[in-house]
Amino acid sequence: MDIQLEKKKGLKPKHYGYIALGALVLFTGWKLLFANSVSTYRTEKERLSIAQVTQGKFDDYITINGSVAPIATIYMDAYEGGRVSEKLIEEGTMVKKGDIILKLENMGLYEQILASESNLALKQNDLRSTKLTFDSRQVEGRRSLATTEYDLQRLKRNYEQNEALFADELISKETYLLSKENYELAKKQRDIVKLQTEQDDELRKTSLTGLDADLQRMRKTLSMVYERLDHLNVRAPADGQLGFLDAEIGQSIAQGERIGQINVLTDFKIEAEIDEHYIDRVKRDLSATLERNEKEYGLRLRKVYPEVRNGRFKVDLVFTDDKPETIRAGQSYNIRLQLGASNEALLLPKGGFFQSTGGQWVFVVGTNENEAVKRNIRIGKQNSRYYEVLEGLEPGENVITSNYDSFGTAERIVLK
């Protein structure tokens, strides 16, 4: 009886080839699957802006747009309220300091002036009456003093005569004593009248001084009221051009209300707005240049306004020397503001990608120019043409610089 032998289980040499082939297929499939898992965006190359990274000189400046304005603007506010009765000068007219631009009328102020004038007249009459009264008392006091001095002299002489006669026993003692008493009484009366006269003089001096001071105050008050009356004539505060005038005949103007402005045209400045990205680097006295008709004009940054509005802040620049002959308020100029010294750097042309990435990454085009891959970079300074690249790129590499918003979250761009 024959015994059937079992075949040995295991891998034969030919099986290894099948295994290797299967592994290769699996690896290739895995690689394709992995490649497809990377987010990819396909687009036509002609629709993109591609720029090359270069090594060169980086000029640390920015280009800003500014408009010409008068070197100074003086606002006109109404010192006094009133109704516009006459308009003498129109907007845009050149004026001299003190020229009357508007005339106002204010009935309440007119009534106040009349009341002040009436009070001043009453005060003047009071002062005149008081002076007359004191003058009369002064005359009367001096008359009384003269009378008492005369009586005193007469009684003194009678007393001295009686004293001599009494010593010779030619008159009675009673007659002598009576003359003595009359003399002493006259002397006391003279002292009383003299004291009263001195007190009246002092009272007159003090009272009239006070009344004069009151009268001066009233005159000064009336003078100030007259000044208010003159303020109803709105005058130009300086030489220049009447920029705007917000007033028409018959219009009521409130006290302190702004009604116009004078543009001082002895010189000009340029007002500009700068992106807040540069707020830490823009300082006073930075130099700038303006090009007009193939000629450059020097500027100096005079003032930096601290307030930031809508992502921008305001600066004022003034000419350091000559200025364009045809310069006019309201003209716009492109200005090159120098922020720092020039230096050698890796340069990447500016483009719309910065708005999408903030300059933190870019798509770098491969050597085969068929695809671009996302790469992190670091950008330093920037001017109107280039970004200064600090890390992530090499000279000669090409970068997509157009806007990335349409790429979504793609990590790889396939270029057709």
The stretches in the chain having pLDDT less than 50 are 1-2, 5, 7-8, 30-36
pTM given for the model = 0.51
Burial of 102 (0-12, 13-18, 19+ CB in 10 A): buried
Helix locations, 168-278, DSSP H: 173-230
Backbone angles phi, psi at 304, to 5 degrees: -115, 120
Q: What is the pLDDT of residue 14?
A: 54
Inter-residue contact 337 to 275 (CB < 8 Å)? no
Crossing angle between the packed helical segments 173-230 and 107-167, to the nearest 10 degrees: 170
Backbone angles phi, psi at 202, to 5 degrees: -65, -45
> Which pLDDT score, from 0 to 100, does residue 35 have?
47
Written as six digits, the tokens of 32 are: 């394709």
Measured CA to CA, the distance from residue 67 to residue 38 in angstroms comes to: 50
How many angstroms separate the CA atoms of 281 and 302, rounded?
15
- Going by the DSSP 8-state scheme, the letter that residue 100 receives in this structure is E
The Cα–Cα gap between 35 and 91 comes to: 72
Q: Mean pLDDT, the chain, as a whole number?
A: 85
Give residue-wise pLDDT tens across range 109-143. 888 878 877 887 787 787 778 778 878 888 888 88
C-alpha to C-alpha distance for 65 and 355, rounded to whole angstroms: 20
Q: What is the pLDDT of residue 18?
A: 61
- Asked whether 51 and 399 are in contact (CB, 8 A), the reply is yes
**Exposure class string for 246-282: b at 16+ Cβ within 10 A, else e:** ebeeeeebeeeeebbbbbbeeebbbebbbeeebeeeb
- Cα first-last separation, the chain: 76
pLDDT digit string (tens) for 317-368?
A: 999 988 888 888 888 999 999 888 888 999 999 999 998 898 899 999 998 8
Amino acid at 351: G
